[in-house]
């Protein structure tokens, strides 16, 4: 099943994509409600749709397939870490701690973009994309899940583009925190959620999802990889996210950037310079993941923002007056 949200005639629709048509849920059901009910709720809703109705997919504008409850982004591909570290630190290096457990950061659920949307980036000289596959959590909330229980919370998958301003990211991470403003301005999701059962044939013997992922800029192939090259399978990422915490329906967990050119930053590190060049206004980034579909993002004009204030020296007195 493919689950989507769309805009048509000024109204937002939510439902299934069946062939080349979108078909609304029955009786006002929503993506959020279906996610909360899990795959059983999705199957029941799918059985109730009016297959004689719907609207041609070409006649609607797809939106991000959900309004995320939260967005965690992992860094699960060793090859990506090797390349990016070469650009940032001058040499390829993977910290021993990377191998000990999955690592993620939280990004902004309020700047989500959908298929075909135009990104309005900050003023940056090193705008980048990141090709990722993301899981969407469904069903009951979970805490301290083991991988088997975590697997049952994987409702489906969608493509994720973690847009990045590498110059902003590099500055702020010198403070040993972040990324923050280097990522804060936009994350694209789409084109829809494909339910987990649809991708089960791609699971290898070790439980990794062996789907092919590609990214093109203005039609030129930049990166390609198998998602099964990640260091942990998705259930282990969900389990780690729930560790001493909670995962809930509507949470999005990105795999992190695939290797072999899944972002420009990796290639800059390997090539010793800005080759290929950073993204600029008018560029088209087209991501394709086997079994999911295609997510297109466009780069628009940058948006200047007020300059941040600098820290003021303080006397470090400990008592007033």
Q: Where along the chain do its domains lie?
A: 2-63, 70-299
The per-residue pLDDT for 161 is 98
At 178 the pLDDT is 85
Superfamily per CATH, domain 70-299: Fumarylacetoacetase-like, C-terminal domain (3.90.850.10)
- Alpha-carbon distance of 117 to 192, in angstroms, equals 14
d(CA 68, CA 189): 10
Can you say whether the dihedral through the CA atoms of 253, 27, 6, 212 is positive or negative? positive
In DSSP notation, 231-270 reads: SS-HHHHHHHHTTTS-B-TTEEEE----TTTSSHHHHHHH
* pLDDT (0 to 100) of residue 204: 97
Q: Look up residue 126 and give its DSSP letter.
A: -
Each residue's pLDDT expressed in tens, for the chain with a length of 321 residues: 999 999 999 999 999 999 999 999 998 999 999 999 999 999 999 999 988 889 999 999 999 999 999 999 999 999 999 999 887 777 888 999 999 999 999 999 999 999 999 999 999 999 999 999 999 999 999 999 999 999 999 999 999 999 999 999 999 988 988 899 999 999 999 999 999 999 999 999 999 999 999 999 999 999 999 999 999 999 999 999 999 999 999 999 999 999 999 999 999 999 999 999 999 999 999 999 999 999 999 999 999 999 999 999 999 999 998
With contact defined as beta carbons under 8 Å apart, do 194 and 158 qualify? yes
CA atoms within 13 A on the CB side of 171: 9
What phi, psi does 207 have (nearest 5°)? Answer: 85, 10
């Amino acid at each position: 099943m493919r689950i989507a949200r769309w805009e048509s005639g000024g109204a937002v629709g939510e439902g299934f994509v069946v062939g080349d048509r979108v078909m609304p849920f029955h009786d006002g059901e929503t993506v959020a409600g279906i996610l909360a009910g899990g795959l059983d709720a999705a199957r029941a809703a799918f059985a109730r749709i009016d297959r004689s109705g719907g609207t041609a997919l070409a006649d609607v504008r797809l939106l991000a397939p959900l309004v995320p409850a939260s967005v965690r982004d992992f860094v699960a591909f060793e090859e990506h870490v090797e390349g990016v570290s070469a650009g940032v630190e001058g040499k390829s290096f993977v910290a021993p701690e990377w191998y000990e457990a999955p690592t993620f950061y939280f990004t902004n659920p309020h700047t989500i973009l959908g298929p075909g949307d135009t990104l309005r980036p900050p003023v940056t000289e090193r705008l980048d994309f990141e090709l990722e596959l993301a899981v969407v959590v469904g069903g009951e909330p979970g805490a301290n899940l083991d991988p088997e229980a975590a697997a049952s919370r994987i409702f489906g998958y969608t493509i994720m583009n973690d847009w990045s301003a590498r110059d902003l990211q590099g500055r702020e991470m010198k403070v040993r925190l972040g990324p923050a403003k280097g990522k804060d301005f936009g994350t694209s999701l789409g084109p829809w959620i494909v339910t987990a059962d649809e991708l089960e044939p791609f699971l290898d013997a070790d439980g990794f999802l062996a789907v092919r992922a590609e990214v093109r800029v203005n039609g030129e192939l930049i990166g390609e990889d198998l998602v099964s090259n990640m260091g942990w399978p998705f259930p282990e990422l969900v389990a780690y996210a729930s560790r001493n915490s909670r995962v809930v329906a509507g949470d999005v967990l990105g795999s992190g950037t695939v290797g072999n050119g899944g972002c420009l930053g990796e290639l800059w590190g390997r090539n010793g310079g800005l080759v290929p060049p950073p993204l600029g206004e008018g560029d088209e980034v087209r991501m394709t993941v086997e079994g999911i579909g295609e997510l297109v993002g466009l780069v628009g004009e940058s948006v200047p923002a007020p300059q941040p204030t600098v820290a003021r020296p303080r006397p470090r007195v400990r008592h007033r007056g």
